[in-house]
Amino acid sequence: METTTKIIYSAFSGTFYTIPEKDFSLLDMGQLPLTKRPSSSCKKCQGRGHIGRDSQTFTYQICNCVRKVLDIEEIKKSITDKIDLNNL
Ligand SMILES: [Zn+2]
């Protein structure tokens, strides 16, 4: 049986990883689903996905290239009540 996986970006650790899609709803806030990995040729982040760390919240500041590949539908579906999209 084929397992569908999702690419996740963690705003806390600044890393990308994949999980089985069915486990996505178990994730904490700050774990952002992506439709695909952002380009490693991004001039701002070189594919790291972040452009620095916020010293107040200790989360990484997401690069624009990650914002472009955010899986908005998935976010709306499962974590609308946990995350404020305006703060991304
Ligand atoms: Zn970037």
- Residue 82 alpha carbon to ligand 1 centre in Å: 25
Is residue 7 predicted with pLDDT exceeding 90? yes
Domain for residue 87, yes or no?
A: no
How many structural domains does the chain have? Answer: 1
- Residue 79 alpha carbon to ligand 1 centre in Å: 24
pLDDT digits (tens, 9 = 90+) for 42-87: 999 999 999 998 888 888 999 999 999 999 888 777 655 555 656 6
Domain for residue 76, yes or no?
A: yes
pLDDT digits (tens, 9 = 90+) for 12-51: 899 999 999 888 878 887 899 999 998 889 999 999 999 9
- Residue 61 alpha carbon to ligand 1 centre in Å: 10
Q: In sequence order, which residues have a C-beta less than 8 Å from that of residue 47 and are 6 or more positions away?
A: 37, 38, 39, 40, 41
Whole-prediction pTM: 0.75
CA angle 49, 79, 24 (to 5 degrees): 70
Domain, as residue range, for 60: 5-82
